Structure 1
Amino acid sequence: MRRADALPARSARAAPAVLVLSAALVGPAQAHGVAGGDAAFLETATGVHFWPYLYLGAKHMFTGYDHLLFLLGVLFFLFRLKDVAIYVTMFSIGHSLTLLVGVLSGLRLDAYIVDAIIGVSVIYKAFDNLGGFKSLLGFSPNQKFVVLSFGLVHGFGLATKLQDLNLSSDGLVPNMIAFNIGVELGQLVALAFILTALQAWRTLPGFGRQAALVNVLVMAAGFALVEMQLTGYWSGA
């Protein structure tokens, strides 16, 4: 996996890529979570509702800016479709497992702490893309294990959003399976956009220098996510 080696100075050529990234993240950030009419439906629905749950799963992942930031970091320097498939599969296995286990078993974790760790996952991947671990440790940790591990955390992040709602036990298992399928479909749609944008960007001159700047911004976004969640945790403690 190739990585950017040094931080570039801010340049005019980097501006379009930064603007595209910012525009892609600001809109979804406003819609993240399960609220409003979606929450009202989930709390009043009884029995099996396969298609609505599938739709809501896809919507949740596609508007999950924290999940998308992590996936952007994972895909940033993957150039072969085989590698993309492997890493996306590892992430999917992780978040599917903890999403289903968290909701169906009733295992609860503090939502603020889980989302703070998700923010750490964004920081971790951007820092790794910048060659940080290789500089500090002389090697980069096993990325497949890292992606699987953080996938487990991201799954709990999805589960906590549903655990905050009073879901009916009638039809819960098929509904959760549908929701998880929807999450996977939403992830595939998001990945298609991300990969298409990355592929076009990689053909432009100066991609390596611009990529370092964008990863710095992604890492900064991760720190902002952590700060926001920890502030919520301590204010509610």
Structure 2
Amino acid sequence: MPLTRGVAYDPRISAVYLQIDNLNCGWAKADEIRRQILNFRKSEIYAPPSAYVHLFGFTVQGTFVRGVYDYLGIEPQVERIGKYKSGGDRLTRKTMSEDHREMLTALLDNIYSNWLDKIVPFLKYRKYSGVRKETVGISSGKEQIAVIRASGTISRVGGKGIIAEEFINNIHRVKASNKFKAAVIRIDSPGGDALASDLMWREIRLLAAKKPIIASMSDVAASGGYYMAMGEEGCAWIII
């Protein structure tokens, strides 16, 4: 990805050769790679006559093990807030609930619609327009936008993923620095510790009171990952 961003603005480079094998990433990352390629592309994409593209449909599915627990005499205990909080359904149900189905259907419809928008006009390239600095009130080239990455499972201290203490320290540095006029929080998280999520959400709100914030959601932004972008005085924009 950094290489693609660099060559797009290097006048010495007139063409790029990409060898694409199996992409081990989610839809959001694949779309981000696509945007960077389009940012470089000047006219056409060439491929041999024997090239082919697999166009498969989209599907979602769930696994529910309540029947196994009943057989073993185990009673699962799951705390749940809200009808769409379906993470524990796989333990407490034998089939998918209507609320869970409604949520997944809406998500699948959105992904499919986005996919059609990208594939159908494939040969009719439209220049991708990125977010300009003026959008968040930045005019000087010396001013910068901070990018705070939040990737992985959320925890309070130690371990891997999003460590609340480290994330909050990054927020404090951005808030205290005069060179950062706005911030992008890149979220790729299934959630995790509830208290840690709440502490980070509070710091994001405090930062948003001083500087514009854009929440950019990658492959996963669920539970605490989604919560980070919420709040009545939170992020000015949410990009999915």
The answer to whether the superposition gives a TM-score over 0.5 is no
> Which structure would you say has the larger Rg?
2
Q: Which of the two has greater strand per residue?
A: 2
TM-score range, shorter chain: under 0.3
Q: TM-score, normalised by structure 2?
A: 0.26
Q: TM-score, normalised by structure 1?
A: 0.26
